Amino acid sequence: MGTVVTVDIRGSGRTDQLVEDVFGWFRAVDDRFSAWKPESEVSRYARGELRDPQLSTDLQEVLVTCEQVRLLSRGAFDIRHHRPDGRPDPTGLVKGWSVDRAVTMLEAAGLTDFSVNAGGDAVVRGHPEPGRRWRVGIQHPAIRDRLAGVVSGTDFAVATSGTYERGEHILDPLAAAPPAGLVSMTVIGPCLGLADAYATAAFVMGATQGLGWLDGIADYSGCAITDDEQLVWTPGFDRYLET
């Protein structure tokens, strides 16, 4: 996964085995989907050793979703141009997708109040305590131990794409260069896999075009931090953003 994953379950009941199952799932995802592990399914697919009919159901699902986002974003999100070597790399979606699957596991076990956070990208359900809302911070672009903002709510997914964590690792597929004008793009919606991919696409598009694009997608909204550290967001983001 390349990041820290935290599962926070509220309420009573024995959940030790369930949490172990969830982390077992994340370990399996890392083994199968890592583009940096030579023998992973994704790496073998990228080298042409596996053809589409030979792929697992999970990887086929991820690739189909990636293609749908590519078409929706008119190429701003494209797994074929994510890496400098040009090999397909679905990590811009798969981390959020794997968290969504973990959330399904927790809900299937009857849990209603919990959060799953993978490197700052999170899904929350229910309440941390009766009458309270979950709060998720948006990293300040220049000061490591500060937040640029906080979003809160009871049932949502939030993902951020930007340069301050890993540098200029996001490439504009059309320009074959890092995009300019933004340091981060945060997207909120019901599905973390899509929020993750949409955040990458909107970041590539830039503040005006990216936020305008997000505003046209039902149930998703976004907030950008510009190079001069200004926050701008879509109208739908207001109900989550604490000011």
CATH number of domain containing 218: 3.10.520.10
Please tell me the predicted confidence (pLDDT) of residue 42.
Answer: 95
What are the structure tokens assigned to 51, written together? 């053809």
Is the per-residue pLDDT at 70 higher than 70? yes
157 falls in which pLDDT band (50, 70, 90)? very high
Is the per-residue pLDDT at 9 higher than 60? yes
234 falls in which pLDDT band (50, 70, 90)? very high
20 falls in which pLDDT band (50, 70, 90)? very high
Is the per-residue pLDDT at 49 higher than 70? yes
- The total number of structural domains in the chain stands at 1
Helix, strand, coil percentages for the chain (3-state, nearest 5): 40, 25, 40
For 69-100, letters b (16+ CB in 10 Å) and e give bbebbeebbbbebbbeeebbbbbbbbbbbbbb
Mean per-residue pLDDT of the chain? 89
Please tell me the predicted confidence (pLDDT) of residue 183.
Answer: 87
The type of residue at 119 is G
Rounded Cα gap, residues 76 and 214, in angstroms: 13
Please tell me the predicted confidence (pLDDT) of residue 223.
Answer: 96
Is the per-residue pLDDT at 208 higher than 70? yes
3-state DSSP of 145-166: CCEEEEEEECCEEEEEEECCCC
- List the beta bridge partners of residue 4: none
| Domain residue limits at 54 | 5-242
**Residues 6+ positions from 5 with CB-CB distance below 8 Å:** 23, 26, 99, 116, 117, 118, 119
Return the percentage of the chain with pLDDT > 70, whole number.
Answer: 91
Please tell me the predicted confidence (pLDDT) of residue 170.
Answer: 56
CB 82 within 8 A of CB 106: no
Rounded Cα gap, residues 99 and 190, in angstroms: 12
Return the percentage of the chain with pLDDT > 90, whole number.
Answer: 70
At 113-133, the pLDDT tens digits run 999 999 989 999 999 999 999
CB 240 within 8 A of CB 153: yes
Three-state DSSP state, 125: strand
Mean pLDDT over 179-206 rounds to 91
Three-state DSSP state, 134: strand
Question: Side by side, which strands form the sheet with 5-9?
Answer: 5-9, 114-118, 121-125, 156-162, 182-189, 221-226, 231-233
